[in-house]
Amino acid sequence: MAEVLLLHHVLGRTKGIEAIADQLRDAGHTVHVPDLFDGRIFSSLEEGLVFVKEIGFEEVTARGVPAACELSRDAVYAGFSLGVPAAQQLAQTREGARGALFFHACLPTSAFNSQWPVDLPVQIHAKSADPFLVEDGDINAAHELVASANHAELFLYEGKEHLFTDSSLPSYDADATKLVIKRVLDFLA
């Protein structure tokens, strides 16, 4: 069974994020979900982004990294949207990582002044027409990462919803999320 560090998105540690963590726990995995926002949960992307801009994007990433110090080195680092930068930094730069799971986002590997470890497995899950993915260049970064790694998969689901895996949000897509969870559980097995 895997040990997973799961980093939440811009709305905070929502019930939907906890539900995903619980599904992984129910399958026998150990899942840690640190609260990067000190208990704050936002009802819209705009509200969450205002908060993140106040504390700084770098601060959010910095808050996610120390959580890994308490884990074994062979953890899987998972991030949802805003949680992806810290998860990607940890997976890409912390020796011994077992794998990475990126949901709704991906950064260029050059963001961390190192190459992606060629044999480190990674899955990237997103909607094919998600404006954040397409317009912010994350889709290009995802394709770059997949091309540079031996064990990388990019799963694009039909639609444009950004946080479609969070069951507590109107953008939730139950069918797509069911497939995401199946693929994630196969990855962690």
* Mean pLDDT (whole number) for 57-81: 89
Decide if pLDDT at 65 tops 90. Answer: no
Decide if pLDDT at 151 tops 90. Answer: yes
Q: How confident is the model at residue 83 (pLDDT cuts 50, 70, 90)?
A: very high
Question: Phi and psi dihedrals of 121, rounded to 5?
Answer: -70, 145
Query: For residue range 26-39, what is the model confidence (pLDDT) as tens digits?
Result: 999 999 999 999 99
Radius of gyration of the chain (CA): 15
Decide if pLDDT at 40 tops 90. Answer: yes
| Residue 12 confidence (pLDDT) | 97
95 contact partners, CB below 8 Å, separation of at least 6? 73
Decide if pLDDT at 72 tops 90. Answer: no
**8 A C-beta contact, residue 14 and residue 41:** yes
* Mean pLDDT (whole number) for 17-28: 98
Q: How confident is the model at residue 73 (pLDDT cuts 50, 70, 90)?
A: confident
Which ranges of the chain does DSSP label H, i.e. alpha helix? Answer: 15-26, 45-55, 57-64, 84-93, 131-135, 138-148, 174-188
Decide if pLDDT at 64 tops 90. Answer: no
DSSP-derived pairing of the beta strands 30-32 and 76-80: unpaired
**How many beta carbons lie within 10 A of that of residue 128, not counting itself?**
13
Q: Domain 3-188: give its CATH superfamily.
A: Alpha/Beta hydrolase fold, catalytic domain (3.40.50.1820)
* Mean pLDDT (whole number) for 161-179: 97
Average pLDDT score, the chain: 95
The token pair that represents 77 in the structure block = 């680092």
Domain positions in the chain: 3-188
